[in-house]
Homo-oligomer: A and B are copies of this chain.
């Protein structure tokens, strides 16, 4: 299992390379009876697709999804849902020139060592192109979660040194914003910053924050399959992610217990609620009933036009090589929906796993005969 499968019950297997015939995903374990059509999936792919604006790659692909199986009369049948997105605009020739070089910041060298071989066409399997399949599968998970009253929202919380101000967030703006930043002031500053990066043939890193509302308490398994552990894997498995933080994240290491603990208060109806959410909605690996808050750090795009020294397969150094492919100056805008998708896939799987946590649930579903 070369690691292309994610999930225990709601299990997806992705396939495809950046420069092959296409990319796809098989979703196995989707419950029967969910109304599903291509449009439900397409709207998320459209948020990820390239060529949307000057802040993303100029590659132009329509990324149309085709459902090949698992649907009958407009509903999921419980059998595998096979989704396919064809590659259109490829231009492998863009890569020919560097096919014998290991691009800095890329998996090229590792692939060569691992497989004794490498698909130099734009990273092949490790290309961001593979995330198309994740978004397609994530769209199905999101539709189920929404039907259970669970909603997700991811956005660009920072671009390089420019951060969105939590007090100014306006989520209605997230998808109007070409860089997915729901704070108009910060967005303006970020535009300037990114333009500077582009002018200097450079690229920028950034962070994506994802929140989930309406999660029941009790999701996540106590030890290795903790909610935060599975989220960390899901999100760190997105290319270019270098850090995953839950709630206060790295700041928690600076705090004292009296500062970090979330205390309960009673609202006007006397209903208890957590007055703070340092935990980010997870305690001991299990959802605590408050909103889930996760933050992911993306490194800057590794493929930059500025000349760099590169190691060749010949073992020699090649000075001042420029990468000419059409690359995103920053990964964050298109990664926002990928983060949302991976979060949804993780939650979906743990929701299903959690259904076997109590004898009570078995009895609800299997109605033992009364003696």
Contacts and interface: CB of A to CB of B under 8 A. Distances in A.
Given A33-B115, A202-B258, A260-B302, 7 more contacts: A24-B82, A78-B114, A105-B283, A106-B284, A107-B222, A107-B288, A113-B286
A110 interface: yes
Interface string A1-36: 111111111110111110011111010111111100
B245 A242 contact: yes
A171 interface: no
A11 B1 contact: yes
Q: How large is the interface on A (under 10, 10 to 19, 20 to 34, 35 or more residues)?
A: 35 or more
A317 B106 CA distance: 53
Contacts of A287: 110
Given A77-B115, A117-B75, A253 B355 contact: no
A226 B221 contact: no
Nearest to A78: B115
A266 to B, nearest CB: 6
A85 to B, nearest CB: 11
A283 B303 CA distance: 13
A310 interface: yes
Contact of A366 (B105, B216, B232, B239): B216
A229 B222 contact: no
B352 A356 contact: yes
Given A217-B109, A256-B300, A223 B289 contact: no
A368 to B, nearest CB: 5
Of the listed residues A10, A77, A119, A148, the one surrounded by the most CB atoms of chain B closer than 10 A to its CB is: A77
Among all A-B residue pairs, the 8 with the closest Cβ atoms: A107-B284, A3-B221, A3-B225, A110-B286, A114-B218, A233-B233, A229-B237, A203-B257
30 contacts: A1-B9, A2-B353, A4-B79, A4-B80, A4-B222, A5-B11, A10-B356, A24-B26, A32-B115, A32-B116, A68-B84, A72-B119, A107-B222, A107-B283, A107-B288, A109-B288, A111-B286, A113-B286, A114-B219, A114-B354, A160-B255, A205-B254, A223-B237, A228-B241, A232-B244, A242-B248, A243-B243, A243-B245, A351-B366, A355-B355
A104 interface: yes
A96 interface: no
A287 B366 CA distance: 14
A310 B17 CA distance: 49
A326 to B, nearest CB: 15
A192 B95 CA distance: 57
A97 interface: no
Nearest to A332: B253
A60 interface: no
A193 to B, nearest CB: 10
Interface string A52-84: 000000000000001011101001111111101
